[in-house]
Amino acid sequence: MTLLQLRKRTMTLAGSVMTVYLIFHMLTNLSFFSAPAFEQFYAVYNQAWIRWPVLALVLIALFIHVRAAVAIRIKNSQARRVAYKKHDKLHIPAPLVTLSIVILLLFILVHIGQTLLIDTSQVRAAMLNWFSSGWMLLFYLAGLLILAMHLLHSLVNVLQTLGISSTMYRLSISTGVVVLTAGFASVPLYIWMTA
C-alpha cells in the first residue's frame, strides 16, 4: 500500500468515527422534544467518564481527518502542474470549496467551545438561550448546510473508491444526509420559532 492510499484510509476511518458520532448526536438532540428524556440523557452522558472520553475521541478523529486531508491536498497539488479552477462536476470554484471546509472546521470548534462554557446541569436551558437569537440560528444552519454538502461529496467519493457506482447507494447516502441535517436543524428551528 502506498503512503497516499494509507492516508486516504486513515482519513476515511477518522471520518467514519465522526459520522457515527454525528448520527448519535443528532438522535440524542431529538430528545429535546421530550424534556424528561433530554434531562435524563444528559444526566447520564455528562458524567466525567463518558463526556470527556467522547469529546477526546471526536477531537482526535477530527485532528487525524484534517491532517490527512491537508497532506493529501499538498501531495496532489505537487503532482498537478495546472491548478484546478473548478472542483468536480458541480463546477464549484476550488477556492470556495477550501473556504467552506475552513468555515466548517471553525463551526465545529466554535460549537465545542460553546458547549464547554455551559452549565452541564442546565443543557436544555442553554440550548433555549442559544437559539432564541436569530444570528445563532443562522450560524448553526450555515454550519449544517456546509456539513451536509461535505458529507454528500465525501461519502459518494468513498463509494467511488470502493468501486460502487449504484444509483441505489447514492440515493441512500443522499437520503441519509438529508435526514441527518433535518434532524439537527429541527431543534434550533423549533426553539427559534417558539421563542
Site residues (CB under 6 A) for ligand HEM? Answer: 22, 25, 29, 42, 46, 51, 54-55, 58, 108, 111-112, 115, 120, 123, 127, 140, 147, 184, 187-188
Nearer Cβ to ligand HEM (140/155): 140
Q: How far is the CB of 144 from ligand HEM (least distance, A)?
A: 6
Closest CA to 21 of 61, 65, 69, 63: 61
Q: How far is the CB of 54 from ligand HEM (least distance, A)?
A: 5
Nearer Cβ to ligand HEM (68/188): 188
Q: How far is the CB of 1 from ligand HEM (least distance, A)?
A: 29
What is the rounded CA–CA span in Å between residue 11 and residue 101?
15
Residue 86 has phi, psi (to 5 degrees) of -120, 150
AA identity, residue 97? V
Q: How far is the CB of 173 from ligand HEM (least distance, A)?
A: 17
Closest CA to 19 of 142, 190, 154: 154
Q: How far is the CB of 94 from ligand HEM (least distance, A)?
A: 23
Nearer Cβ to ligand HEM (55/173): 55
Nearer Cβ to ligand HEM (20/164): 20
What is the rounded CA–CA span in Å between residue 34 and residue 148?
26
Nearer Cβ to ligand HEM (45/84): 45
For residue 93, what are the β-bridge partners? 86
What residues contact 145, with CB distance under 8 A and at least 6 apart?
181
The residue whose Cβ lies closest to ligand HEM is 115
What is the rounded CA–CA span in Å between residue 27 and residue 23?
6
